[in-house]
Amino acid sequence: MIKTDEIISKIEKYASLDLMESWDNSGWQINLHHDYVNRVLIALSFTKETLSEAITNDCDLIITHHPLIFDKLSKIDDSNIVEAIKHNICVYSAHTNLDKTYGSTTDALAGVLGFKNLITVDECVKIAHLKDEIDLMELLQTVKMSVGSERVKVINPSNVETVRNVAICAGAGGSYIKKLNEYDIDLYITGDIKFHAALEVRGFAVADIGHFESELPVLPLIQGLIAKTGVETIIAQEHIPWEYI
């Protein structure tokens, strides 16, 4: 068993809570003040399924990317929270602090896609300059396979055909589209592009690979980070909450 403080210290030294956005709630979600941790489940989100997996695998700590609690609680009646407490399971989240640190969710995505020598243009957005131009559709097929996306939504009002400069942002990156109009890019890879954000695209193509798919690469990063303490870790078997027909 490993000291709880040692595990949390590893995370917070890597992605300081000082980096967290003001609206965010990274950090402890359920803190039962365990002195030691037996086994850790690592997941993007705290759900009924991830909780069940933690219980089955005798995990007493769940570390998620998305916080379990965003809004102020007036009472505790959520069945999943109650069930976690009944099973003596703590929950800790590293969200926007992990998005903004060096070695972030975006860096993890870029690594899976094989992009190197990234230039930071915003705390959450990086640009990669490819060695050679590549056909847009060829690159998107590679991206699709690399992240396991069933479908990729492409927004290409300028009919971009080849790609040299690629911007990347894991998670929901639609709010950065206007800012990226200032940069010389051919493609922007992110997730969760909404309709009105899509209308703002100018001069480059956008590949919406999915929020879930774009952030999934960060889980092995978290696993490797806390595994240095010696604690046993498991990555949750999560799936997107919809299907295509």
93: domain CATH number is: 3.40.1390.30
Whole-number average pLDDT of the chain: 96
Please report whether residue 45 resides in a domain.
yes
Residues 95 and 108 in one domain: no
* 8 Å CB contact between 202 and 21: no
Paired residues of 178 in beta bridges? none
Q: Are 88 and 12 within one domain? A: yes
Shared domain check, 108 and 23: no
The predicted pLDDT at position 195 comes to: 96
Mean local confidence (pLDDT), 11-24: 97
Same domain (yes/no): 165, 184: yes
What CA–CA distances, in Å, run from 100 to 43, 122, 170, 175, 182? 19, 9, 11, 15, 21
Q: Is the pLDDT of residue 150 over 90?
A: no
Q: If we measure between CA atoms, which residue out of 134, 127, 143, 209 comes closest to residue 164?
A: 134
Q: Are residues 119 and 207 in the same domain?
A: yes
- Please determine, for residue 198, whether its predicted confidence score (pLDDT) is greater than 90: yes
State yes or no: pLDDT of 74 exceeds 90: no
pLDDT above 90 for 72: no
Within-domain flag for 240: no
Band of residue 42 on the pLDDT scale cut at 50, 70, 90: very high
Q: Does 129 score more than 90 pLDDT?
A: yes
| Alpha carbon distance 54, 39 (integer Å) | 9
Assess if residue 237 is contained within a domain. Answer: no
Domain tally, the chain: 2
If DSSP codes are grouped into helix, strand and coil, which group holds residue 215? helix
Are residues 67 and 20 in contact, defined by beta-carbon separation less than 8 angstroms?
Answer: no
Same domain, 169 and 188: yes
Residue 243 has pLDDT above 90, yes or no: no
Burial of 153 (0-12, 13-18, 19+ CB in 10 A): middle
Give me the pLDDT at residue 1, please. 85
Same domain for 186 and 95: no
Share of the chain residues as helix, strand and coil, in percent rounded to the nearest 5: 35, 25, 40
As a whole number, mean pLDDT of residues 219-233 equals 96
- Cα–Cα distance measured from residue 36 to residue 197, given in angstroms and rounded to the nearest whole number: 45
Confidence of residue 245 (pLDDT cuts 50, 70, 90): confident
Phi and psi torsions of 195, nearest 5°: -55, -50
pLDDT at residue 63 in the model: 98
pTM here? 0.95
Question: Same domain, yes or no, for 175 and 191?
Answer: yes
pLDDT digits (tens, 9 = 90+) for 174-195: 999 999 989 999 999 999 999 9
Q: What is residue 207's predicted lDDT score, i.e. its pLDDT?
A: 98
188: domain range? 102-214
